[in-house]
Amino acid sequence: QVQLVESGGGSVEAGGSLRLSCVGSGDIYGSYCWAWFRQAPGEEREGVAFIEGADGTTHYTNSVKGRFRISQDSTKRILYLQMDSLKSEDTGMYYCAADFCPSAAAVRTRGFRRTDFGYWGQGTQVTVSS
């Protein structure tokens, strides 16, 4: 069983920064893929940033490239999301997720999907005011 607990959310003005953390416990494999998803009210949950545990390869959705950075600690049980130059459209509940990675071919052709991840945290709220 895997448990994920997020922290670090809050309210910030546009242009500001936040750092989210996600602590994992239980049967976590070093080769897991990890992700940050977010969901705004009335919207679908969307993938924001992904990291492949085996080699640290990262992937980002276009809207956050150059502003957000996903990383892990050396134990591969703590996931971070450094968010800089925040915009009002970054507002939402942010969720940490983990699971075995989809195939490399699948990632190349269609990217990561919400259904690739079976373990989820409860979420942490990020509110950016303009």
Per-residue pLDDT, 4: 98
Per-residue pLDDT, 127: 98
Per-residue pLDDT, 21: 98
Residues 72-103: pLDDT tens digits?
Answer: 998 999 999 999 999 999 999 999 999 999 99
H or E element that contains 99? strand 92-99
Q: In the predicted model, what is the mean pLDDT of the chain? A: 96
Task: Dihedral sign for Cα 14, 59, 98, 3, please.
Answer: negative
Per-residue pLDDT, 28: 92
Per-residue pLDDT, 65: 98
Query: Which residue positions in the chain have pLDDT lower than 50?
Result: none
Please tell me the distance from the alpha carbon of residue 58 to that of residue 121, in angstroms, as a whole number: 20
